[in-house]
Structure 1
Amino acid sequence: MPDPQQVAKNHWYRNDDIPGVPGPDREIQGYGEKPPVIRWEGGAKVAINIVINYEEGSELTFAMGDGRNDGMYELPFDVDDQRDLAKESMYEYGSRAGIWRLFRTFDRYDIPITVFGAAVALERNPRVAEKIRERGDELVGHGYRWIDHYEYSREEERELIALAMESFDRMGLTPRGWYCREMSVNTRELLVQDGRFLYDSDYYGDDLPYWTFVEGESHLVVPYSLAVNDCRYIMGTGFGSPTDFVDVAKRTVLQLLDDGDECGRMMSIGLHPRITGNPARAHGLAEFIAWAQQQEGVAFMRRIDIAEQFIEQVPRPASPAERPNS
C-alpha cells in the first residue's frame, strides 16, 4: 500500500485514483443525465423505505467490557473512564419503550419497514425479533454488534459477519442485505465471497440502486441516506424539532415526484428507537406517513422489494468473464 505521507506530498496534482489502494473503486459518474426510468409498486414514482436501526444493547459499553461508552447521546456529555449510566439508560429507552411505539405507528398505518438489526441487540430482546417476523418486515444485517467494522482485520470482519448470520438464522431471520455501522475496505468483497447477500447498503451516493462489480462478480448496491435521518436530532446541525423532520421529509418526496425528468427514485428514512421512539418525534413521523400516503405516486416499500423490483427492470449485467470476446 502506498505510503500516505509520500502520496500527500507528491500526488496533489493527480486527477485519478492511485492503483492498488485497498477497497472498492470510486464510481464518480454514476447514471449521469439519464438514469433508468424505474417504476415501483403500483406504478409509483417514489419508493419510501423506512429503516429502523435496532442497535440497543449491542452498543459499546463498559458493562460489555469495551472500556468505553458509545456515542449518539441526547446531550454532548462524555464519561471517559467508567460506565455512563445515563447514556446506557437512553439506549434502554429505545429497547424498552421506543421500539414498541414505532411498531404501533407502523401497524396503525400498515407500513412495511426494513430493520437494520445488530444480532446481539435482537438476542437480548427476542420479542423484537418475533415482532419483525410477525409483521413480515425485512431484516438487514447490521453486524454482530453495533461496532465499526473498519477497526477490525479482514479475517476478524469475516468472523463477525459469520457470527451475525448464525445468530440471525437461529432467530428465523435470514438477511439478504447488509449495512455496517462503518464499513471497511474489505466489507463488500467479504459479502460477495460469502454468497448469501443480494445487496449491501453501505453507500450514500445515489437515489437509485445500481450494479457494481466486485472481483469480477456483479453486485447490487441499494443506497442509504443520512439526510432524512433522526440522528440529526442529536448530532451536528439538523432537526430542532419534529416539525423540521416533517418538513425535510415532505420536501424530499415533493422533489422526487417532480424532479425534472420521468425517472423514479427511492427515499430512505433512517430512524432509531432511542431517538424517534420518543413521543414528540414519533408524532412527527406519524404526521409524515399520513401525509405521504395521500400523495399520488408514492409507495412505502421494504428495501428487499426495492432491490427485487429494480432487478426486474435493470437485470444483472454480465460479468467481464461472461461477456462475448472478453
Structure 2
Amino acid sequence: MLPSHGRFPYSGIVNRPAFTWPGDKRLAVYFALCVEHFSYGTGLGLPYSPGLSHPNTYNWAWREYGNRVGGWRLIGLFEEYQLPITVLLNTECYDHCPELVAAHRKRGDEIVAHGRTNSEHQNGMSPEAEAGLIQEATDAIRKHEEKPPRGWMSPGAHPSANTEDLLAEVGYAYTLDWPMDDQPVWMQTRGGPLLSVPYPHEVNDVPMIVMHDGTAPAFADMAIDNFDELLAQSKHQSLVYGITIHTFIVGQPFRIKHFRRVLEHLAQHKDEVWFTTSGQIADHYASLFPPPGSDH
C-alpha cells in the first residue's frame, strides 16, 4: 500500500450528513487576505523576476507594495461592500507595518497565524525548530490581539509532516493547510482532533496569476464562476467557498478593478450566502459535528 498521512479516512462528499450554516444558509463564503513580510536579500518568497541574485530589490519591493499600498486599498474595497476578512498574518508585520494590522483589528477581522514570515517554510525544519516557530507566531498574536489565534496557515502553504501535531498540542482549533474538500474535515493528531477548514488552492491569486500567468479579468471570472457553481450545488448540500488574495497581487490597481466585480457579483446574493470568516466556519461546524470519539 502507498504511504498515508494517517490524518483522516477517505469520504466521498455525496455521503455526508445534511446540515445548514447560520440563517439556514447552505453556502459559507470567506475571503482570506494574506498580509506578509519578507526578509531583504535572504530567504524564500514569490519571485516576479526569477533568477536574479540576492539582494533582490525588485522582488522585495514588489511584495512590499502590498503593505504600503495594496493592503490599504483592499481594506477600503471590503469596507465599501461591508464584508468580513480573514487575515492570514505573518507576525513580523507587527513590527514592520503595525498600522496596517491595526486597521484590520479595528474592522474586527479574524487574525489567522501565518507564521513569522513567508521567507521561511516549516517543511524541512526539525520538530523543535518548527515548534519554536509556531510558538513565536502564536505568542505575538496573543500579545497584540489580546487572545491567541485559533487558526493556522503555514507560510508558503508548506507544512511539515509534524505541523498538525504541533498545532493541536498548543491549542489550535483548525488549519487551512489541506485544500482537499468543500466541507470541513476532522483530522487526527498526536495532540487531539484538529479541524481542516476548506482552503482554495485554485481560486487563489498565487497559482492563478503568479504561477500560471492568469490575467486580472480571468481571475475575476474564475472567482465568479466558482461561486455560481457552488451556489447551485449548495442547494442540495451545504458547502464552503474560500477566495485567497494577497495584498501585493490583487492589491495592484488593475487587479482591484476586476476584483471589485467579484465582490459586486457576490454581494447580489447576500440573502442566500453566509459571508463569514474561517474561524466562524470552524466554530459552527464543530458545534454540529464534534470530533469522532468526543463526548459532546
- Fold equivalence (TM over 0.5): yes
Indicate the residue corresponding to 2:150 in structure 1.
176
Are the equivalent residues in 2 in contact too, given 1:91–1:274 (CA < 8 A)? Answer: yes
Please list the CA deviations of residues 138-174 of structure 1 after superposition, one character each: whole Å capped at 9, or x if unmatched: 0110012222101210000111111111211221253
Paired amino acid for 2:275: F
User: What is the DSSP-based 3-state SS (H/G/I as helix, E as strand, rest coil) of the residue aligned with 1:271?
Assistant: strand
1:215 to 187, 190, 196: 190
1:278 aligns with 2:264: no
Instruction: Give identity over the alignment, percent.
Output: 27
Q: Which residue of 1 aligns with 2:110?
A: 138
| AA at the equivalent of 1:17 | P
Note if contact 1:129-1:171 (Cα within 8 Å) is conserved in structure 2: no
Mapped partners of 2:169, 2:121: distance in 1:
20
Question: Is structure 2 residue 185 aligned with structure 1 residue 204?
Answer: no
Q: Which SS does the other structure have where 1:119 is aligned?
A: coil
* CA-CA distance at 1:309 after TM superposition: 1.3
User: Considering only CA atoms, is the larger Rg found in Structure 1 or Structure 2?
Assistant: 1
Pick aligned residue for 2:126 from 153, 166, 179: 153
The match for 2:202 among 205, 213, 227 is: 227
Q: By how many angstroms is 1:213 displaced?
A: 1.7
- Structure 2: how far apart are the matches of 1:316 and 1:254? 31
Of 2, 5, 17, the match for 2:3: 17
Quote the residue 2:214 is aligned against: 239
Cα distance, 1:259 vs. partner?
A: 2.0
CA distance in 2, matches of 1:275, 1:285: 11
Q: For the residues of structure 2 that align with 1:140 and 1:148, how far apart are their CA atoms?
A: 16
Tell me how far apart the structure 1 counterparts of residues 115 and 233 of structure 2 sit (CA, whole Å): 35
1:207–1:248 Cα change, 3 Å: same
Please give the TM-score of this superposition, normalised by the length of structure 1: 0.83
Q: CA deviation at 1:129?
A: 1.9
Structure 1 stretch displaced more, 44-53 or 111-120: 44-53
Tell me the CA shift for residue 236 of structure 1: 2.8
Amino acid across the alignment from 1:40: W
Contact 1:38 1:265 (8 Å CA) reproduced = no
Rounded Cα–Cα distance in structure 2 between residues aligned with 1:260 and 1:191: 31
Per-residue deviation, 1:238? 5.1
**Residue from 224, 227, 230 that aligns with 1:253:** 227
- The answer to whether the 8 A contact 1:218-1:318 is kept is no
Partner residue of 2:40? 61
Q: Identify which of 101, 115, 137 aligns with 2:73.
A: 101
CA separation of 1:27 and 1:261: change in aligned 2, threshold 3 A: farther
Query: Against the structure 1 CA distance between its residues 219 and 31, is the aligned structure 2 distance closer, same or farther, given a 3 Å change threshold?
Result: farther
User: Deviation of residue 30 (structure 1)?
Assistant: 2.1
Specify the code of the residue in structure 1 equivalent to 2:127: R
Q: CA deviation at 1:34?
A: 2.0
Query: 2:140 maps to which residue?
Result: 167
Match of 1:21 in 2: none
Amino acid at match of 2:224: K
The aligned amino acid for 1:278 is Q
Query: What is aligned with 1:301?
Result: 276
Q: Tell me, yes or no, if the aligned pair for 1:143 and 1:164 is still in contact at 8 Å.
A: yes
Separation in structure 2 between the aligned mates of residue 101 and residue 43 of structure 1, nearest angstrom = 33
Partner of 2:100: 128
Deviation at 1:250, TM superposition (A): 1.3
Structure 2 contact 203–244 (Cα < 8 Å) conserved = yes
Q: Report the secondary structure of 2:11's partner residue.
A: coil
Give the length in aligned residue pairs.
Answer: 291
Normalising by structure 2, we get a TM-score of 0.91
Q: Which runs of 4+ in 1 moved over 4 A?
A: none
Deviation at 1:48, TM superposition (A): 1.1
| C-alpha deviation, 1:38, in angstroms | 3.1
The 2-side partners of 1:297 and 1:199 are apart by: 26
Cα contact 1:46–1:253 (8 A) shared by 2: no
SS state at 1:202 partner: coil
Which amino acid letter does the alignment assign opposite residue 269 of structure 1? I
